[in-house]
Amino acid sequence: MRKKALITGASRGIGEALAKALAKEGYDLVLVCRRSGEKMNILQEELKARYGIDCRAVLSDVSDPDQVERLFAQTGDVDVLINNAAISYVGLLTDMSVKEWRQVIDTNLNSLFYTCKYAVPGMVCRKSGKIINVSSVWGNAGASMEVAYSAAKGGVNSFTKALAKELAPSNIQVNAVAFGVIDTEMNACFSEEEKLALREEIPADRLGTAEEAAEMILKVLEAPSYLTGQVITMDGGWI
């Protein structure tokens, strides 16, 4: 029987690459994003045709608890939950509005509570399940001009460690992967000169790719069950 994985933020970047990687491995998929419905439908049909899996694309804003409740009412239990949805804000803290702060925290951190609240009971019942939270090196080190994002990802790391302890007796693994600079649309706000400056700081002398990030997440999924409560860093030796 194939396992079912739910991926948030699945319409682009790491989420899209991960959907392709998991489909190739034979996972049935629930692909979730907030507004890229047409793109998601194309990806859904592509993965179903190529790999013969069951794949559903669902529009849902995971920063909204009511929408997450409806999402899980539609999709039912999942074996794997990948919390990947994220937004960023680059700018001075004092220029940030309360609404913008809440949007970053709701999307990057509170959404983990909402999705886990509905995914975990089925996992506990089956005594099996894996949760992977996509984090960032800024959750470890903090970044100037990205205070809200850093705070949210720091929360993701602590959330991961605490929930892993809570769920370990039920044979459920909870881990996070903290990525460095991955070449995705989220980083489109940076100019080529800024990206070059970033690259010069990274010992690997390049940005990571979404496909590499997906491969790392897949390796964590396939790791022995004794691996839990970890925040694994993948950043080209940067931080």
Catalytic machinery residues: 149
* Spatial separation of the C-alpha atoms in residues 63 and 214, rounded to whole Å: 23
* Spatial separation of the C-alpha atoms in residues 60 and 186, rounded to whole Å: 19
Asked if residue 172 lies in contact with residue 131, where contact means CB atoms within 8 angstroms, the answer is yes
Asked if residue 193 lies in contact with residue 221, where contact means CB atoms within 8 angstroms, the answer is no
* Spatial separation of the C-alpha atoms in residues 81 and 119, rounded to whole Å: 7
> Per-residue DSSP letters for 165-234?
HHHGGGTEEEEEEEE--B-SGGGGGS-HHHHHHHHHHSTTSS-B-HHHHHHHHHHHHTS-TT--S-EEEE
Neighbours of 148 (CB within 10 A): 22
